[in-house]
Amino acid sequence: MGNQQALVGHERAAATLRDQYAALPQGTPVRLAKSTSNLFRFRDPATRTLDVSQFAGVLTVDAEARTADVGGMTTYEDLVDATLPYGLMPLVVPQLKTITLGGAVAGLGIESTSFRNGLPHESVLEMEILTGDGRIVRLDRDDELFRGFPNSYGTFGYALRLKIELEPVAPYVELRHIRFDDPAVIAEYTDADFLDGTVFAPGEQYLTVGRFVDKPTYRPSDYTGQEIFYKSIRERTADLLTTRDYIWRWDTDWFWCSRAFGAQVPWVRKLWPKQYLRSDVYRKIVALDRKYGVTKRARQIKGAPDREPVIQDVEIPLSRLGEFLEFFHRDIGISPIWLCPIKLRDKQTWPLYPMDPGTMYVNVGFWATVPMRPGQRPGHHNRLIEEKVTALGGHKSLYSESFYSREDFWRLYDGERYRALKLQFDPDGRLPDLYDKCVRGS
């Protein structure tokens, strides 16, 4: 399909969706009909959904201008496949293949280019949104909703089309895994192309520094089959991957979380079809387990204590990272932990996730369960984390469970600005309130 045909098709799909939305009875909960999700706020299926399948695709790639027009429901897997043939990639590609561009902008995304390229919404040039009051609005970077849309999680509306910046890539990425003690060393490698880290235990942490190279100096590694990327960090000081394999290095094993399903046991892995070594497959297994309570019943039969899911990503100022890790090792005890440095590109703030543009932060990601002790209330460990993150001047992503009071939540996520935008673009409250959606689970 030619560029003009693709854009015309998009306009027709947008008009159809607007009519579909208008036809929903007032008061009907609105959900998107999507085949994948990377949220960890599990809810009962909605009886009424919006069909947004027509917004999953790359409309145009302008290699000369280094931009792409993309449907809001396009997965990063499809987006990367469309841009790499031009020697280009999005400025930030979140680590899991089925994260959508619209989801990464309405929520938050991060990856190992974030120390130089910030968050995915910072490389968006234009947006088209179906708002809560049923309009389709086109926004550029000067519009108030443009800046308020990130971290709104679909409570103002849904991104139907986005124009984004792209950057050039080389065919390969050469890696160095550097063991370190003092987190301040992270600031010494900001001339790299990629930068992230892994904490395996107190006192055992590695910084992975990636740089583009045009020609392979040795045979590239392959972590899409029997070999497991995160284990190689301990075993090798240097490595080489194709750029595509580097981008998706974490997806094959959902970082390290595939071990919960036995997918890292050698004989199981040999039997596991390669095409199903993917994050979206593991997430569906978790959703089924949550729905039917298989793991919970097994624990009860064994007499084992209940376990609390602690699945979070938090941003901590680099200067306070050591304090956070000390607390985390002592009071939470999950390992491994992912570290991803981030510094905003834009000197203006994004009100619903108000990070200081002049500060280097480190995203700390941890995804596991923790045993509950007698007398601990639901969310005990998550509440401890929220309190510590706030005390250290950090912020917490909202893709998973949250336990803030309403007052604390709106203080942290700019309730005044949020309410003003909500009144302007969803005055009848057809879409859920951010606190209700992200904390109360409405």
The string of pLDDT tens digits covering residues 423-437 is 999 999 999 999 999
3-state helix, strand, coil in the chain (%, to 5): 35, 25, 40
Helix axes 279-292, 294-302, angle to 10 degrees: 60
Which runs of consecutive H residues, i.e. helices, occur in 215-275? 229-235, 243-247, 266-271
Per-residue model confidence as pLDDT tens digits over 84-96: 999 999 999 999 9
pLDDT at 268 over 70: yes
| Domain at 3-169+423-432, CATH from 3.40.190.10, 3.30.465.10, 3.60.150.10, 3.40.718.10 | 3.30.465.10
Per domain, the residue ranges of the chain are 3-169+423-432
**Distance from C-alpha of 170 to C-alpha of 147, rounded to nearest angstrom:** 32
Query: 183 Cβ partners below 8 Å, 6+ apart?
Result: 318, 321, 322, 325, 362
Per-residue model confidence as pLDDT tens digits over 19-71: 988 888 887 777 776 666 555 544 555 556 788 888 999 999 999 999 999 99
% of residues, the chain, pLDDT over 70: 96
pLDDT at 217 over 90: no
Give the model's confidence band at 9: pLDDT under 50 very low, under 70 low, under 90 confident, else very high: confident
Quote the pLDDT of residue 45: 54
Q: How many CB atoms lie within 10 A of CB 284?
A: 14
Residue that wins the pLDDT comparison between 33 and 297: 297
The b/e string for 399-429 (b: 16+ C-beta within 10 A; e otherwise) is: bbbbbbeeeebbebbbbebbeebbeebbeee
Which of 242, 227, 277, 237 lies closest to 257 in space, CA to CA? 277
Sheet of strand 238-242: strand arrangement: 238-242, 172-180, 204-213, 194-201, 337-342, 361-371, 307-317, 395-396
Give the model's confidence band at 1: pLDDT under 50 very low, under 70 low, under 90 confident, else very high: very low
The predicted model scores a pTM of 0.93
Quote the pLDDT of residue 407: 96
**Distance from C-alpha of 331 to C-alpha of 339, rounded to nearest angstrom:** 18
The half-sphere exposure of 11 on its side-chain side, counting CA atoms within 13 A, is 6
% of residues, the chain, pLDDT over 90: 79
Average pLDDT over residues 311-328: 97
Quote the pLDDT of residue 39: 55
Q: Which amino acid is at 110?
A: I
Average pLDDT over residues 8-18: 89
Quote the pLDDT of residue 349: 83
Considering only 181-195, 297-311, 398-412, which range has the smallest mean pLDDT? Answer: 297-311
Quote the pLDDT of residue 418: 97
What Rg do the C-alpha atoms of the chain give, in angstroms?
A: 21
Residue that wins the pLDDT comparison between 414 and 290: 414
Quote the pLDDT of residue 442: 55
Quote the pLDDT of residue 51: 83
Output the average pLDDT for the chain. Answer: 92
Average pLDDT over residues 413-442: 92
Residue that wins the pLDDT comparison between 2 and 262: 262
